[in-house]
Amino acid sequence: MAVSLDDIRAAREVVASSGVVRHTPLLESRTLSERAGAIVRLKAEGLQHTGSFKVRGAVNRMAALSPAERERGVIAASAGNHAQGVAVAARAAGVRATVVMSATAPLAKVQATRDYGAEVVLAGDSYDDARAEAARLRDGRGLVEVPAYDDPLIVAGQGTVGLEILDDMPDVALLVVPVGGGGLAAGIAIAAKSQRPDVRVVGVQAEAAPGVARSLAARRIQHVATRPTLADGIAVGGPGEVTFPLLARYLDDLVLVDDDDIAEAMVLLLERAKLVVEGAGAAGVAALLAGRIDPRGEPTAIVLSGGNVDINMLARVVEHGLSRAGRYCRLRIAIDDRPGQLAVIARIIGEHGANILSVAHQRFGVDLPVGRVEAVVLLEVRDHAHGDAVAAALRNAGFGVTRE
* Residues with catalytic function: 54, 305
Residues 6 or more apart in contact with residue 236 via CB below 8 angstroms: 79, 127, 148, 149, 180, 181, 209, 211, 226
Give the H or E element holding residue 378: strand 372-380
Q: Give the chain's radius of gyration (CA, Å).
A: 24
Q: Which of 175, 134, 133 is nearest to 158 (CA)?
A: 175
Q: What letter represents residue 194's amino acid?
A: S
3-state secondary structure at position 237: coil
Residues 6 or more apart in contact with residue 47 via CB below 8 angstroms: 22, 24, 25, 307
Give CA–CA dist 314/279, Å, rounded: 9
Q: What letter represents residue 393's amino acid?
A: A
Q: Using alpha carbons, list the distances in angstroms from residue 235 to 106, 172, 183, 247, 387.
A: 13, 28, 13, 17, 35
Strand 400-403 to 328-336 pairing? antiparallel
Q: Which of 152, 142, 14 is nearest to 69 (CA)?
A: 142
Give CA–CA dist 221/213, Å, rounded: 10
On whether the CB atoms of residues 198 and 166 are closer than 8 A, the answer is no
Q: What is the dihedral of CA 239, 245, 247, 253, to 10 degrees?
A: 110
Give CA–CA dist 197/151, Å, rounded: 24
- Beta-ladder partners of 178: 204
